Amino acid sequence: MKKKIIYSLSSNKDLARKISRTEKAELGRVSIDHFADGEILVKTLSDVKNKDVTIVESTAKNAHERLFELLLLIDSIKRGKPHSINLYIPYFGYSRQERVSWINEPISCQVVANILDTAKVDKILTFDLHHPDIKKFFNTKFVSIPTASLFGKYYREYIRKHKINPKDVVVVSPDHGSNTRADQLVKELPGSKKVILNKHRPAPNFVEHLEINNKNISGKTCIIIDDIIDTGGTIVSATNLLYKYGAKDVLACASHAVLSGNSVNKLLNANISDLVFTNSIETDLVKSIKIIDISSLIEL
Ligand code: R5P
């Protein structure tokens, strides 16, 4: 068996540390320098010869720079002749631009896939990818791990602790894109039902309208599940609508805490009883927002 080495760059340092502990793998040392004009220089300070290398980096919070860090580190590592290189991109940035919604728009996600393909790594792994079709953009082996099992475990415990009748639980997909995600959570929570909301987004990060197809949520505990919370617009809008139709309680979870601008305040001011993310993106959050560790889903 080859020796394993795990790198993190500007993001996911904790996650990389956890994986290295569980896998008893060396933690790679890396230097990231900035030139006066903003260009970066990234290189490995550890020896990689004949080792199985894993690089952990979410392409969030300045996706372009995170992506470039990855590409430069891969090049640096390749010069040291490793046995293999896998990329763990817990949150895959640009994944929401996976199709043309308006005339002349780029499929940005495909552009990123093409760039990553040129790096010629062995495998790319991510969590709860925005849309399953994104895989088709890659020639490199690409795997997306669902996070529903982690949320399922969390909510089974929550339901037990709060003495909620499982039949009074409604899993809510805030738009049609999260339908499969909601189905996966329903399977994890026996007795629960699913409701899908209609969402209209006239411009990026702006949610105009949400409706409920099935209004049977009166007196229910609703759990909204999404892949990403960015501005918080979708979740807050969905929460308001669910209360309007008589929900007893609204809880929410999302795999990726993108959380731009004043989204945290927006979420804290909404009447969401419990809010959970994974640690796919490193964030300094207030205590009332919970974080579930995804490292248990990772096997090198
Ligand atoms: C959209 O397609 C995604 O699944 C999320 O619903 C969206 O990215 C959430 O963004 P925001 O928090 O800005 O509404």
Distance (Å) from CA 116 to ligand 1 centroid:
24
**Pocket-testing residue among 134, 199, 226, ligand 1, by greatest number of atoms within 8 A of Cβ:** 226
pLDDT at 102: 84
Which residue's CA is the closest to the ligand 1 atom numbered 3?
228
Known catalytic residues are: 199
Residue 267: both structure tokens together? 């979420």
Q: Where are the beta strands (DSSP E) in 134-192?
A: 141-145, 169-173
Distance (Å) from CA 207 to ligand 1 centroid:
9
Distance (Å) from CA 214 to ligand 1 centroid:
21
- For residue 114, give Cα distances in angstroms to 9, 15, 104, 118, 140: 21, 26, 19, 7, 10
Q: What are phi and psi of 234, to 5 degrees?
A: -60, -50
Q: Is the Cβ–Cβ distance between 224 and 252 less than 8 Å? A: yes
Atom of ligand 1 nearest to the CA of 96: 2
Q: In what order do the strands lie in the sheet with 209-212?
A: 209-212, 193-200, 169-173, 221-229, 249-257, 274-278, 289-292
What is the dihedral sign for C-alpha 194, 199, 204, 206? negative
How far apart are the C-alpha atoms of 66 and 203, rounded to whole Å? 25
The CA-CA-CA angle for residues 28, 32, 33, to 5°, reads: 155
How much is the pTM? 0.94
The CA-CA-CA angle for residues 128, 107, 104, to 5°, reads: 145
- For residue 25, give Cα distances in angstroms to 74, 76, 84: 18, 20, 14
Tracing tokens 């080495």 back to the chain, one arrives at 5
Q: What are phi and psi of 43, to 5 degrees?
A: -150, 155
From the list 44, 53, 43, 46, the residue with the least C-alpha distance to 3 is: 53
pLDDT at 205: 66
Per-residue pLDDT of the chain (300 residues; tens, 9 = 90+): 789 999 999 999 999 999 999 989 999 999 999 999 999 999 999 999 999 999 999 999 899 999 999 999 999 999 999 999 999 999 999 999 999 988 899 999 999 999 999 999 999 999 999 999 999 999 999 999 999 999 999 999 999 999 999 999 999 999 989 999 999 999 999 999 999 998 887 776 677 656 776 668 999 999 999 999 999 999 999 999 999 999 999 999 999 999 999 999 999 999 999 999 999 999 877 778 999 999 989 876
